[in-house]
Amino acid sequence: MPSFRSSHKQADLIVRRMAIQSLGTQRNYAQALRGYTEFTKLNHHLGDLRTMTRETALTYLEFRSQLVSQKTLDLDRQATQKFLGEKLPVIKSELVTALSTRAYPRAQVALVAAAQSAKHSLSTELALDAGLRAHELITLQPLAMQPPSAHREFRQDLFTGRDVVIFTVAGKGGLKRQVGISHALSVRLEECRLPEPRDVTDRGIPYRSLYNLGGGKQWSDSFSKASTRELGWSNGAHGLRHSYAQERMHTLQSGGYFYKDALALVSQEMGHFRPDITEVYLR
Protein backbone atom coordinates (compact mmCIF):
# COMPACT_ATOMS: atom_id res chain seq x y z
CA MET A 1 0.00 0.00 0.00
CA PRO A 2 1.49 3.41 -0.97
CA SER A 3 2.18 6.23 1.44
CA PHE A 4 -0.09 9.27 1.62
CA ARG A 5 0.49 12.87 2.67
CA SER A 6 -1.69 12.57 5.76
CA SER A 7 -3.03 9.78 7.95
CA HIS A 8 -6.55 11.19 7.54
CA LYS A 9 -6.35 10.96 3.74
CA GLN A 10 -5.01 7.44 4.15
CA ALA A 11 -7.99 6.43 6.30
CA ASP A 12 -10.45 8.03 3.86
CA LEU A 13 -8.95 6.23 0.87
CA ILE A 14 -8.93 2.87 2.64
CA VAL A 15 -12.61 3.22 3.55
CA ARG A 16 -13.50 4.10 -0.06
CA ARG A 17 -11.78 0.90 -1.16
CA MET A 18 -13.97 -1.12 1.23
CA ALA A 19 -16.89 -0.67 -1.20
CA ILE A 20 -19.35 0.30 1.54
CA GLN A 21 -22.66 1.41 0.02
CA SER A 22 -23.91 3.65 2.83
CA LEU A 23 -22.31 7.10 2.82
CA GLY A 24 -23.04 7.41 6.53
CA THR A 25 -21.19 4.17 7.27
CA GLN A 26 -18.30 5.29 5.08
CA ARG A 27 -18.05 8.53 7.04
CA ASN A 28 -18.24 6.75 10.42
CA TYR A 29 -15.65 4.12 9.48
CA ALA A 30 -13.27 6.80 8.16
CA GLN A 31 -13.62 8.70 11.44
CA ALA A 32 -12.88 5.53 13.42
CA LEU A 33 -9.74 4.74 11.39
CA ARG A 34 -8.57 8.33 11.71
CA GLY A 35 -8.81 7.88 15.47
CA TYR A 36 -6.57 4.84 15.21
CA THR A 37 -3.96 6.80 13.25
CA GLU A 38 -3.96 9.56 15.87
CA PHE A 39 -3.47 6.95 18.60
CA THR A 40 -0.48 5.39 16.83
CA LYS A 41 1.13 8.82 16.40
CA LEU A 42 1.30 8.98 20.20
CA ASN A 43 2.34 5.33 20.49
CA HIS A 44 4.94 4.86 17.78
CA HIS A 45 5.76 1.29 18.80
CA LEU A 46 2.34 0.22 17.49
CA GLY A 47 3.21 1.14 13.92
CA ASP A 48 0.54 2.85 11.83
CA LEU A 49 -2.72 2.12 10.04
CA ARG A 50 -1.01 0.12 7.30
CA THR A 51 0.61 -2.22 9.85
CA MET A 52 -2.45 -2.70 12.08
CA THR A 53 -2.71 -6.17 13.63
CA ARG A 54 -5.33 -7.81 15.82
CA GLU A 55 -3.21 -7.03 18.89
CA THR A 56 -2.71 -3.34 18.07
CA ALA A 57 -6.41 -2.98 17.21
CA LEU A 58 -7.38 -4.40 20.59
CA THR A 59 -4.90 -2.10 22.32
CA TYR A 60 -6.58 0.87 20.63
CA LEU A 61 -10.08 -0.32 21.52
CA GLU A 62 -9.08 -0.84 25.15
CA PHE A 63 -7.83 2.76 25.19
CA ARG A 64 -11.02 4.05 23.58
CA SER A 65 -13.17 2.18 26.11
CA GLN A 66 -12.21 4.77 28.72
CA LEU A 67 -13.26 7.71 26.61
CA VAL A 68 -16.37 6.90 24.59
CA SER A 69 -19.83 5.40 24.88
CA GLN A 70 -20.58 1.77 24.05
CA LYS A 71 -22.22 2.80 20.77
CA THR A 72 -19.11 4.68 19.60
CA LEU A 73 -16.82 1.90 20.83
CA ASP A 74 -18.81 -0.70 18.88
CA LEU A 75 -18.50 1.44 15.77
CA ASP A 76 -14.73 1.66 16.24
CA ARG A 77 -14.61 -2.14 16.59
CA GLN A 78 -16.70 -2.67 13.45
CA ALA A 79 -14.45 -0.36 11.42
CA THR A 80 -11.19 -1.95 12.58
CA GLN A 81 -12.44 -5.51 12.10
CA LYS A 82 -13.67 -4.60 8.61
CA PHE A 83 -10.19 -3.27 7.83
CA LEU A 84 -8.49 -6.35 9.28
CA GLY A 85 -10.93 -8.82 7.79
CA GLU A 86 -11.41 -10.70 11.06
CA LYS A 87 -13.87 -10.58 13.94
CA LEU A 88 -12.80 -8.81 17.14
CA PRO A 89 -14.23 -9.40 20.63
CA VAL A 90 -16.72 -6.93 22.08
CA ILE A 91 -15.05 -4.61 24.61
CA LYS A 92 -17.18 -2.85 27.20
CA SER A 93 -17.10 0.91 27.61
CA GLU A 94 -15.70 1.81 31.02
CA LEU A 95 -17.81 4.96 31.06
CA VAL A 96 -20.97 2.86 30.87
CA THR A 97 -19.68 0.42 33.50
CA ALA A 98 -18.71 3.22 35.86
CA LEU A 99 -22.11 4.88 35.58
CA SER A 100 -23.96 1.63 36.28
CA THR A 101 -22.06 0.39 39.32
CA ARG A 102 -21.55 1.63 42.87
CA ALA A 103 -19.15 1.14 45.74
CA TYR A 104 -19.31 -1.68 48.28
CA PRO A 105 -18.53 -1.12 51.98
CA ARG A 106 -15.64 -3.33 53.17
CA ALA A 107 -17.96 -5.45 55.35
CA GLN A 108 -19.99 -6.39 52.27
CA VAL A 109 -16.84 -7.23 50.30
CA ALA A 110 -15.71 -9.52 53.12
CA LEU A 111 -19.02 -11.40 52.96
CA VAL A 112 -18.74 -11.82 49.20
CA ALA A 113 -15.10 -12.95 49.34
CA ALA A 114 -15.93 -15.55 52.00
CA ALA A 115 -18.50 -17.06 49.64
CA GLN A 116 -16.02 -17.51 46.77
CA SER A 117 -13.42 -20.16 46.02
CA ALA A 118 -9.94 -19.52 47.41
CA LYS A 119 -8.42 -18.15 44.21
CA HIS A 120 -11.42 -15.94 43.43
CA SER A 121 -11.61 -14.76 47.04
CA LEU A 122 -7.99 -13.59 46.97
CA SER A 123 -8.63 -11.81 43.68
CA THR A 124 -11.56 -9.96 45.25
CA GLU A 125 -9.34 -8.78 48.11
CA LEU A 126 -6.62 -7.71 45.66
CA ALA A 127 -9.07 -5.87 43.41
CA LEU A 128 -10.34 -3.83 46.35
CA ASP A 129 -6.87 -3.25 47.80
CA ALA A 130 -5.32 -2.00 44.54
CA GLY A 131 -8.31 -0.79 42.50
CA LEU A 132 -7.82 -3.39 39.79
CA ARG A 133 -9.92 -4.13 36.73
CA ALA A 134 -10.95 -7.76 36.18
CA HIS A 135 -8.44 -8.47 33.43
CA GLU A 136 -5.62 -6.69 35.31
CA LEU A 137 -5.64 -9.45 37.93
CA ILE A 138 -4.34 -11.76 35.20
CA THR A 139 -1.46 -9.42 34.35
CA LEU A 140 -0.06 -8.80 37.85
CA GLN A 141 3.74 -8.98 38.02
CA PRO A 142 6.42 -7.75 40.45
CA LEU A 143 7.86 -4.36 39.52
CA ALA A 144 11.27 -5.89 38.76
CA MET A 145 9.77 -8.18 36.14
CA GLN A 146 7.47 -5.67 34.43
CA PRO A 147 8.38 -1.98 34.67
CA PRO A 148 5.73 0.69 34.03
CA SER A 149 5.31 2.15 30.54
CA ALA A 150 8.17 4.51 29.74
CA HIS A 151 6.11 6.79 27.47
CA ARG A 152 3.90 7.97 30.34
CA GLU A 153 5.04 10.36 33.07
CA PHE A 154 3.76 9.09 36.42
CA ARG A 155 3.45 11.11 39.61
CA GLN A 156 6.08 10.63 42.29
CA ASP A 157 3.54 10.64 45.14
CA LEU A 158 1.55 7.56 44.12
CA PHE A 159 0.20 5.53 47.08
CA THR A 160 0.76 8.36 49.56
CA GLY A 161 -0.57 7.32 52.96
CA ARG A 162 -0.27 3.59 52.22
CA ASP A 163 2.42 1.04 53.17
CA VAL A 164 2.52 -1.15 50.06
CA VAL A 165 4.56 -3.46 47.87
CA ILE A 166 4.71 -2.25 44.27
CA PHE A 167 3.55 -4.51 41.45
CA THR A 168 2.59 -3.64 37.89
CA VAL A 169 -0.36 -4.53 35.67
CA ALA A 170 -1.14 -4.12 31.98
CA GLY A 171 -4.23 -1.95 31.87
CA LYS A 172 -6.37 -0.26 29.23
CA GLY A 173 -4.59 0.47 25.98
CA GLY A 174 -1.66 -1.71 27.08
CA LEU A 175 -0.55 0.91 29.61
CA LYS A 176 1.65 -0.72 32.24
CA ARG A 177 1.28 1.05 35.57
CA GLN A 178 2.33 0.56 39.16
CA VAL A 179 -0.21 -0.70 41.68
CA GLY A 180 0.21 -0.83 45.45
CA ILE A 181 -0.65 -4.02 47.33
CA SER A 182 -0.58 -4.30 51.12
CA HIS A 183 2.27 -6.36 52.58
CA ALA A 184 -0.01 -9.10 53.91
CA LEU A 185 -1.77 -9.54 50.57
CA SER A 186 1.52 -9.45 48.66
CA VAL A 187 2.75 -12.43 50.72
CA ARG A 188 -0.43 -14.37 49.91
CA LEU A 189 -0.08 -13.41 46.25
CA GLU A 190 3.47 -14.75 46.05
CA GLU A 191 2.29 -18.02 47.57
CA CYS A 192 0.17 -18.40 44.42
CA ARG A 193 3.13 -17.99 42.02
CA LEU A 194 2.96 -20.57 39.24
CA PRO A 195 6.02 -22.75 38.45
CA GLU A 196 5.85 -21.34 34.92
CA PRO A 197 3.78 -18.49 33.49
CA ARG A 198 0.68 -19.64 31.64
CA ASP A 199 -1.27 -18.18 28.75
CA VAL A 200 -4.81 -17.06 29.55
CA THR A 201 -7.45 -15.76 27.14
CA ASP A 202 -10.15 -13.48 28.51
CA ARG A 203 -12.93 -12.12 26.29
CA GLY A 204 -10.87 -13.07 23.25
CA ILE A 205 -7.73 -11.22 24.39
CA PRO A 206 -4.56 -13.22 25.24
CA TYR A 207 -2.59 -12.55 28.43
CA ARG A 208 0.31 -14.20 30.24
CA SER A 209 -0.38 -14.92 33.90
CA LEU A 210 2.23 -15.34 36.62
CA TYR A 211 -0.11 -16.35 39.45
CA ASN A 212 -2.84 -18.89 40.08
CA LEU A 213 -5.52 -16.24 40.55
CA GLY A 214 -9.05 -15.67 39.43
CA GLY A 215 -9.35 -12.88 36.88
CA GLY A 216 -11.26 -11.59 33.90
CA LYS A 217 -14.78 -12.71 33.18
CA GLN A 218 -14.53 -15.89 35.30
CA TRP A 219 -13.68 -13.88 38.39
CA SER A 220 -16.24 -11.13 37.76
CA ASP A 221 -18.95 -13.77 37.22
CA SER A 222 -17.89 -15.45 40.46
CA PHE A 223 -18.10 -12.13 42.30
CA SER A 224 -21.56 -11.31 40.97
CA LYS A 225 -22.94 -14.74 41.87
CA ALA A 226 -21.44 -14.65 45.37
CA SER A 227 -22.74 -11.12 45.91
CA THR A 228 -26.24 -12.14 44.87
CA ARG A 229 -26.14 -15.13 47.22
CA GLU A 230 -24.80 -13.23 50.23
CA LEU A 231 -26.26 -9.75 49.79
CA GLY A 232 -29.33 -10.46 47.68
CA TRP A 233 -28.04 -8.17 44.89
CA SER A 234 -24.89 -7.32 42.93
CA ASN A 235 -23.40 -4.11 41.57
CA GLY A 236 -20.81 -6.14 39.69
CA ALA A 237 -17.13 -6.60 40.46
CA HIS A 238 -16.36 -3.21 38.91
CA GLY A 239 -17.97 -1.68 41.99
CA LEU A 240 -14.74 -2.52 43.84
CA ARG A 241 -13.01 0.18 41.79
CA HIS A 242 -15.62 2.61 43.03
CA SER A 243 -14.78 1.54 46.58
CA TYR A 244 -11.05 2.04 45.95
CA ALA A 245 -11.54 5.49 44.43
CA GLN A 246 -13.75 6.70 47.25
CA GLU A 247 -11.52 5.34 50.01
CA ARG A 248 -8.37 6.82 48.46
CA MET A 249 -9.96 10.23 47.97
CA HIS A 250 -11.03 10.24 51.62
CA THR A 251 -7.54 9.24 52.79
CA LEU A 252 -5.75 11.83 50.64
CA GLN A 253 -8.08 14.70 51.47
CA SER A 254 -7.93 13.82 55.16
CA GLY A 255 -4.14 13.93 54.82
CA GLY A 256 -4.14 17.47 53.43
CA TYR A 257 -4.50 17.05 49.66
CA PHE A 258 -6.76 19.48 47.84
CA TYR A 259 -9.55 17.82 45.85
CA LYS A 260 -8.00 18.46 42.42
CA ASP A 261 -4.59 17.06 43.40
CA ALA A 262 -6.14 14.04 45.13
CA LEU A 263 -8.26 13.32 42.07
CA ALA A 264 -5.25 13.51 39.74
CA LEU A 265 -3.29 11.10 41.96
CA VAL A 266 -6.13 8.57 42.26
CA SER A 267 -6.69 8.79 38.52
CA GLN A 268 -3.14 7.60 37.86
CA GLU A 269 -3.37 4.87 40.50
CA MET A 270 -6.47 3.54 38.73
CA GLY A 271 -4.95 3.72 35.25
CA HIS A 272 -7.23 6.42 33.88
CA PHE A 273 -6.09 8.79 31.18
CA ARG A 274 -8.25 11.67 32.45
CA PRO A 275 -9.18 12.65 36.04
CA ASP A 276 -12.76 13.40 34.99
CA ILE A 277 -13.24 9.68 34.30
CA THR A 278 -12.20 8.93 37.88
CA GLU A 279 -14.69 11.51 39.11
CA VAL A 280 -17.54 9.28 37.90
CA TYR A 281 -16.42 6.69 40.49
CA LEU A 282 -17.00 9.12 43.34
CA ARG A 283 -20.78 9.31 42.97
Q: What is the pLDDT of residues 249-260, one digit of tens each?
A: 999 999 999 999
Averaged pLDDT, 13-34: 72
**Model confidence over 79-138: pLDDT tens digits?**
898 888 899 988 888 766 666 668 999 999 999 999 999 999 999 999 999 999 999 999
pLDDT in the model for residue 33? 83
Domain boundary assignment for the chain: 7-91, 96-280
Residue 10, CA distances (Å) to 15, 19, 38, 103, 174 in order: 9, 15, 12, 44, 25
Whether residue 178 contacts residue 158, with contact meaning beta carbons closer than 8 Å, is answered with yes
Residue 131, CA distances (Å) to 48, 211, 220, 248 in order: 32, 18, 14, 10
CATH for 96-280, options being 1.10.443.10, 3.40.50.1820, 1.10.3330.10, 3.40.50.11540: 1.10.443.10
Choice between 248 and 40, residue whose per-residue pLDDT is larger: 248
| Average pLDDT for the chain | 88
pLDDT in the model for residue 99? 65
Per-residue pLDDT at 16 exceeds 70: no
pLDDT in the model for residue 280? 85
For residues 199 and 187, what is the distance between their CA atoms, to the nearest angstrom? 23
Choice between 26 and 265, residue whose per-residue pLDDT is larger: 265
pLDDT in the model for residue 20? 62
**Model confidence over 199-236: pLDDT tens digits?**
999 988 889 999 999 999 999 999 999 999 999 999 99
With both helix axes pointing from N to C terminus, report the angle between 216-231 and 118-130 in degrees, rounded to the nearest 10: 90
